Structures are given as structure tokens and as C-alpha cells.
Amino acid sequence: MHLEDAGRKLWERVTGGAHWLADSDTPTLILLCEKYDRRAGFLADLSRSEPVLYTDKGYAYPNPLVGMLSTIETEIA
């Protein structure tokens, strides 16, 4: 299993306190931790950008990262 910082911290927090988890819960927990890593990456990328972008002609459109972040947060919830 390879997790980045956010996912690893969540893994340690959950496995450190949720002793009732069964081995069969491991794949779901790994998926959740991977989603946390992906969310952290989206947040980092968005912090270096803007929520609204503009075309060459000045038309505004939403940054795709905003939608991706919303989707991953819905999946996490």
C-alpha cells in the first residue's frame, strides 16, 4: 500500500482508534485514504490557481479542479 501524507495520517488515526475494524474492512479503508490523498492534491493545485478561469476572449468558466474536489468530497462522505 502506498499512501501520501494525508492518506497515511488518516490511516494511522483510524487504525489507531478503530480496533473493531475487521480485515475485510481494509480495502475500503485503503480506498478512503487514497481519496484523502487525491483531495489533498486537488486542494494544493487549487491553492496555486483560481476557482474561476477565463478564456482568451475573457469568458469565465469554473476551474475543473472545483468540480473534481466536489466529486471526491462527495465520494468520501
Structural domain spans, the chain: 5-76
- Report CA-CA distances (Å) from 17 to 10, 14, 72: 11, 5, 24
Is the confidence at residue 44, as pLDDT, over 80?
yes
Three cell numbers written together for 65: 479542479
Q: Quote the pTM value.
A: 0.86
**Average pLDDT of the segment spanning 15-39:** 95
Q: Are strands 60-62 and 52-54 parallel, antiparallel or unpaired?
A: antiparallel
pLDDT confidence band for 13 (50 / 70 / 90): very high
